[in-house]
Structure 1
Amino acid sequence: MIAVDTSALMAILLGEPDADIVMQVLDEAEALCISAGTLAEAMIVADRRSVGTEMQQLIEGLGIEVVTVTQSGADAVAAAYRTWGKGIHPAALNFGDCFAYGLAAERNCPLLFVGDDFGKTDVRLASPRRDER
């Protein structure tokens, strides 16, 4: 199981340098999940970048399990922000990031993302790294 962050999905849709590696990780994963909070963020970000329809198609095509935010999930999101949030820690996770972090923590699974923010946390990483190419 791999939890997926908005940044990984946007990398694919925008053809960013890590898109091929992200797709490889997604294709090789036994199962994928995304928090409903992260899904909302992904759709908002994609709409603002004029790729909203493509985001919906990508998520459906990958068969990602959408995980609802329960009380324990909300607690995990809040705890993530208290520990790793903007203005609190150098990781500077935003509200949306905390849904992805919280799900990975709750499910005890790695998180697929692109960028540097989650690398400054204690989450297990399923992130493509440029130095591994």
Structure 2
Amino acid sequence: MTIDTSAMVAILYGEPEAAAFTRLIHDSATSRISVANYLELSMVIERQLGPEGMRQADAFFRRAAIDIEPVTVGQGHLARQAFLDFGTGRHKAGLNFGDCFAYALARDFDEPLLFKGNDFTETDIRSAA
């Protein structure tokens, strides 16, 4: 399963979906996040919660065995296509930069995507929830 930044933010902020998302991650044979989404997560978390928030996030990554995947050239092409097909200002899904990399990683590994919100429901990506 591929994890979008939105799902990790929901978990770390204790939002209503946190318990269900945590169960899905722990029950998944593999869980991964793009390094682009890891950076996006750190920007959100450290801005709101400071360095301690990201330390907690990193501890969660270790406990849940979430792999942080490098971006490949192929994923770059998939992310670009995601923007062309579903990007902000082009499609009602309105995928942003980070969304495009989550989409690309899920496509590259042919996995469902764990996310919060409605943006990805407007695409052809499979939901993990």
So what's the TM-score if we normalise by structure 1?
0.91
Q: Tell me the residue number matched to 1:15.
A: 14
Q: Tell me the residue number matched to 2:2.
A: 3
In the alignment, is residue 44 of structure 1 matched against residue 43 of structure 2? yes
Q: Which runs of 5+ in 2 are unaligned?
A: none
For residue 45 of structure 1, report the CA deviation from its aligned partner.
1.1
Which of these residues, 39, 54, 57, is aligned with residue 56 of structure 2? 54
CA distance in 2, matches of 1:75, 1:34: 17
Cα contact 1:85–1:91 (8 A) shared by 2: yes
CA distance in 1, matches of 2:92, 2:14: 28
SS at match of 1:66: strand
RMSD: 0.9
In the alignment, is residue 114 of structure 1 matched against residue 113 of structure 2? no
So what's the TM-score if we normalise by structure 2?
0.93
Cα contact 1:85–1:93 (8 A) shared by 2: yes
Q: Which runs of 5+ in 1 are unaligned?
A: 128-133
Q: Percent identity?
A: 37
Which of these residues, 78, 81, 91, is aligned with residue 79 of structure 1? 81
Report the count of equivalent residues. Answer: 126
Q: Tell me the residue number matched to 2:105.
A: 103
Q: Tell me the residue number matched to 1:131.
A: none
For residue 60 of structure 1, report the CA deviation from its aligned partner.
2.1
